[in-house]
Structure 1
Amino acid sequence: MADTDGLIDARDFGTSAPAASGLSGGFHVKGAHGQDWGLRNRLSRIFRPDTGRTVMLAFDHGYFVGPMAGLERLDTGIAPLVPAADAIMMTRGALRTSIPPTTDAGIVLRASGGPSILRELSDEHIALDIEDALRLNAAALAIQVFIGGEHESRSVANLAALVDAGQRHGVAVLGVTAVGKDMVRDARYFRLATRISAEMGAHVVKTYYVEDGFETVTASCPVPIIVAGGKKLPELDALTMAYRSIQEGAAGVDMGRNIFQSESPAAMLAAVRGVVHDGLKPAEAYELFKETAAGATGNAES
């Protein structure tokens, strides 16, 4: 067992310095310069080459909570939003039943599961075979990693096994930092959770935004970090979180409830794209949201 006495907290994250020369290799996705062509091609379906960022629409919630608000009908509530997303994150069942095969969005499949919201959520297993992911043309596979959770070791082993499968077939892996109700959501914890996922081979890491020290989380993770939307927030607050995340080093957002539970999901998705890809500030993006929502209402009434 490693001796943890006398460990010195990391201090210098070099948050103002770009990635060291040569490490990007001219590729637009952080940490992927040494990957095979197929895996980099798949990452390019998720991260736009012109900005290096992504707006991912997440609607995989049903795999453990069932038909929550906004996800009652995937075919009518979610499918119309897909063309405006760079990537979509869902289960294979949702993809096969509800998403048109003509979509250009990068496909990110939920690959872990097991317990429902009624049980211990960290008790997950790999729930998707790599061959089925290839049949579905997946760009990436998403897996929960429960650092500090009851089944932490198994979730890390699940991640490692999925990375091995992904590397063999050129499919990226998205490590999702799962935070229990009793865990402290601060930069120190997220530095730990995101770094472990990256060191175990995840090509992208999804985590939560924190106001104090988030730039140290993104700087100390050698692969792109995308920010989870989390619970439903007022639209301006969600856009502010997205803006701050990008300004502090995130490579995009993976939003679910803050889009599909918005009073105008399509308008909210357009506003988030404005923040992530066009550099809109929160107030500007909120104005875009209101204008787009009003236009949609007017068209529906005419």
Structure 2
Amino acid sequence: MADKDGIKDAKEFGIGIPQVTEGFHVKGCNHYGWGMKSRLSKIFNPKSGKSLMLAFDHGYFLGPTSGLERLDLKIPSLVDYIDCFMGTRGGMTTCIDPAITANKAIALRVSSGSSILDDDLSNEIVSVDIAEAIRMNADLMATQVYIGAPYQTKSIDNLSKVICAGNTYGIPTMGVVAVGKEMERNAKYFRLATRIIAEVGAQVVKSYYCDDFDSVAASCPVPIVIAGGKKIPEKDALEMCYNAILMGAAGVDMGRNIFQSEDPLAMVQAVRAIVHDGIDSKEAFDMFNELKTK
């Protein structure tokens, strides 16, 4: 209210009312700067604290992956249900209309250097610099990390350089746990790999679901997003997604189990309902089958 001289009461300005400071909704990020938190809030929904990323960066080492032969046709049909595009510079700029990304986060793959023709995939380089990431309006930079592989040190060096560059401009980095042909996919390995990546300074970690995943999530001080991995039956993929979220995952970065599904549009909606609405895997599978019939 204002008095007769038009001077407003201090209470209208909130003077004397204590500020309420709550923890940031992204794990481990309370002390980051404003720009970093703003970008992370595009990736991780502030209401659920979770993220559904759509991975379509497979071509950087696999070539034209089944189901992604035409990025320009497949990805736009799924855009309404995802939070974050996870792709390469070339895939984004040639096949994705920037207009459809307006309200979506961009996770930009910045490492490359190997292909399925190589015996060892771990010898990678940083192929996209920070200036290019800024030009592409990236909200997250993703680089592969090969813990236990011949080029482990080089991949950690790549990660470190990306993190340092990103921190300069408030752009978070996602370290992606790469599992080689001979590595065991167990909780002991993933606890090691995810913790190393977080300790180096990555703001987000992408890893795989495994038995005892709750111990992996608990020992990693930043959010873990699980990879969808190779195509498996829809029911199994939804169970994996549900169990990962239940055990502490902050989201999923799913590719082949969506775009290689018998009905990608039904599948992405079922996955989203698990991630953001908290439904269980049985409800999600029923939802998938119902949507598929339509």
Is this contact kept in 2: 1:42–1:172, CA < 8 A?
yes
1:263-300 per-position Cα deviation (integer Å, ceiling 9, x unaligned)? 110110000001111111111001111111111xxxxx
Q: CA deviation at 1:181?
A: 1.1
Q: Determine whether 1:207 maps to 2:207.
A: yes
Aligned to 1:260: 259
Aligned with 1:82 (options 72, 76, 79): 79
Identical aligned residues as a percent: 55
Aligned to 1:248: 247
Aligned to 2:231: 232
Is this contact kept in 2: 1:25–1:33, CA < 8 A?
no
Is this contact kept in 2: 1:204–1:226, CA < 8 A?
yes
How many residues align structurally? 271
Q: Determine whether 1:49 maps to 2:41.
A: no
Aligned to 1:182: 182
Aligned to 2:225, the other structure's residue is in SS state strand
| Ranges in structure 2 where 5+ consecutive residues have no aligned partner | 1-20
| Ranges in structure 1 where 5+ consecutive residues have no aligned partner | 1-23, 296-302
46 and 266 in structure 1: CA distance in 2 versus 1, 3 angstrom threshold: same
Separation in structure 2 between the aligned mates of residue 183 and residue 51 of structure 1, nearest angstrom: 33
State the TM-score, normalizing by the size of structure 2: 0.91
Separation in structure 2 between the aligned mates of residue 80 and residue 274 of structure 1, nearest angstrom: 17
- Indicate the RMSD between aligned Cα atoms, in angstroms: 1.0
Aligned to 1:17: none
25 and 145 in structure 1: CA distance in 2 versus 1, 3 angstrom threshold: farther
Aligned to 1:131: 131
Aligned to 2:5: none
Separation in structure 2 between the aligned mates of residue 259 and residue 53 of structure 1, nearest angstrom: 18
Q: CA deviation at 1:83?
A: 2.3
Aligned with 2:93 (options 93, 96, 104): 96
Separation in structure 1 between the aligned mates of residue 22 and residue 62 of structure 2, nearest angstrom: 41
Aligned to 1:220: 219
Separation in structure 2 between the aligned mates of residue 82 and residue 98 of structure 1, nearest angstrom: 13
1:234-275 per-position Cα deviation (integer Å, ceiling 9, x unaligned)? 001000000000000000000000000001101100000011
Aligned to 2:106, the other structure's residue is in SS state strand
Q: CA deviation at 1:214?
A: 0.8
1:73-129 per-position Cα deviation (integer Å, ceiling 9, x unaligned)? 001112221221111100011111111212221100001001111112100010101
Structure number, greater radius of gyration:
2
AA aligned opposite 1:79: P
AA aligned opposite 1:261: Q
After TM superposition, the runs of 4+ consecutive aligned structure 1 residues lying more than 2 A away are none
Aligned to 2:282, the other structure's residue is in SS state helix
Aligned to 2:106: 107
